[in-house]
Amino acid sequence: MYDDLQEMIRQSPSASFGNIENGVSVTWIRKAEAFLGFSLPPSYTWWLRNYGGGEVGGEEIYSIYEMDFDQAVGGDIVFNAIANMRSNGCGFDRLYICRTGVDEYFFFETKSRTDVNEFPVFIGDHRSQQTEHYAKNFAEFLMKRIRFFDH
């Protein structure tokens, strides 16, 4: 799965990611997991370690900024989880990973872990509050977003 995804990222004009030198350290991934109270999905941690962050079609894919979570801004996944919890009074059932320019958002459904420790990805709309399943895991999410912008 990762070989196909790496090749797709390499060839994509819409995917702009860092590289292994920009990867998020295992230490910061573990800090994020400890703060959130659960392990991040393997395909997401693979992307963090190999690319660090970036965007597809101008949409930032949330990452870990390797700074204090209360001081991080923008697309830090833990910062966004904290902000969502404070504004909505909910826990970390939804872990936001990307927001589009049309008020849609993508999130991990953290209560729905699969047998391979992945979280499914859902898409939602802030206006209607409706959500629907988008991808079985983060790797499939990236592939679908890249295809969307490249075709």
Confidence category of residue 54, pLDDT binned at 50, 70, 90: very high
Higher pLDDT pick, 90 / 49: 49
- β-strands 121-125, 131-135: how paired? antiparallel
pLDDT of res. 87: 77
Residue 22 token pair: 């920009």
pLDDT of res. 51: 97
- Please, which residues bridge with residue 99 across strands? 105
Least confident of 8-17, 43-52, 100-109, 120-129: 120-129
DSSP 137: S
- Mean pLDDT (whole number) for 91-116: 86
pLDDT of res. 43: 97
- Mean pLDDT (whole number) for 119-127: 87
Instruction: Give, rounded to a whole angstrom, the gap between the first and last alpha carbons of the chain.
Output: 21
Domains within the chain, CATH numbers bracketed: 2-150 (3.40.1580.10)
Match 């999905």 to its residue by tokens: 41
CB 104 within 8 A of CB 91: no
Higher pLDDT pick, 75 / 84: 75
Residue 127 has pLDDT above 80, yes or no: no
- Please, which residues bridge with residue 86 across strands? none
Residue 109 token pair: 């459904």
Residue 43 burial (CB < 10 Å; 0-12/13-18/19+)?
A: buried
Residue 88 has pLDDT above 80, yes or no: no
Residue 128 has pLDDT above 70, yes or no: no
Residue 109 has pLDDT above 80, yes or no: yes
- What does the chain come to in residues? 151
Residue 126 has pLDDT above 80, yes or no: no
